[in-house]
Amino acid sequence: MPDRPKLRVDVVTIFPEAFAPLQLSVLGRAQRAGLLLVRVWNLRDFTTDRHRTTDDYPYGGGPGMVMKAEPFFAAARAIAQEAGGLGRVILTSPQGRPFTQRLAYELSRAGHLVILCGHYEGVDERVAVGLRAEEISIGDYVLTGGELAAMVIVDATARLVPGVVGDEASVREDSFTRGLLDYPHYTRPAEVEGLRVPEVLLSGNHQAIARWRRKEAIRRTLRRRPDLLQAAQLDEEDRALLEEVLREEREGGGGGV
């Protein structure tokens, strides 16, 4: 067991209990193995008033509440003291930079992340400015707060730390790294509800199987995510497979998904 985790993540939140899932499964095992350390801090512990207030009315008026700045600064100071610095500071925000697999790779090499979870209408702007926090969004839909976004960021980032996921090959093979969606998967039995496993997968012909899988990955990407196909790096053989798929798709059949 290493004496220092390869990735330390400090999360600051008003809902520390929401992070219980990070103790389970793959990330739980990684933490027990000392590869990963996730520390969750309760923002309320860094308030100084009787009511442990974390939000207040917006200057200038308008709807909703704004998270106060001082508790975040106090939490950051405590984290810096314990961790010996602050690493990369992230603020979850609908206004943030889109979170992508590329950014997950980048963060997985940072060594230390501090994730501040926003809530309500937002966080006092001076938190992002004063702590030099990078604002990150996980996508164009509206959540009730930053906690799920923080967990998504931790999950996608931590699994890229070497050793966290047992099967390194499956991490490297990931569809968003290769730029294509995954091919269809099957396991026993060979027939379910009248639906058969494609014959080629039962053939034992590994070259034919590899070709079929690549082709079906291209077909799925074309049908479901043509935007990804534009950006995918296709070699000569892939281009030939794409031509076949395009021909087959034109000829209809249209079956499946």
Binding site for ligand 9D3 (CB under 6 A): 92-94, 118, 121-122, 137-139, 141-143, 145-146, 149
Neighbours of 44 (CB within 10 A): 15
Task: Please give the full DSSP string across 167-195, using - where no structure is assigned.
Answer: -HHHHHT-HHHHTSPPPP---S-SEETTE
3-state secondary structure 23-51: HCHHHHHHHHCCCEEEEEEEHHHHCCCCC
Of 94, 182, 225, 238, the active-site residue reads: 94
Is there a catalytic annotation at residue 155?
no
Is there a catalytic annotation at residue 94?
yes
Q: How far is the CB of 78 from ligand 9D3 (least distance, A)?
A: 23
Of 174, 199, 237, 248, the active-site residue reads: 174
User: Distance between CA atoms of 214 and 197, rounded to whole angstroms?
Assistant: 17
Q: How far is the CB of 100 from ligand 9D3 (least distance, A)?
A: 13
Residue placing its CB nearer to ligand 9D3 in the complex, 101 or 170: 101
Q: How far is the CB of 113 from ligand 9D3 (least distance, A)?
A: 15
Is there a catalytic annotation at residue 2?
no
Residue placing its CB nearer to ligand 9D3 in the complex, 93 or 221: 93
Neighbours of 257 (CB within 10 A): 7
Q: How far is the CB of 193 from ligand 9D3 (least distance, A)?
A: 38
Answer for the pair 31, 7: CB distance below 8 angstroms, yes or no: no
Is there a catalytic annotation at residue 121?
yes
Active site residue ranges: 94, 121, 159, 174
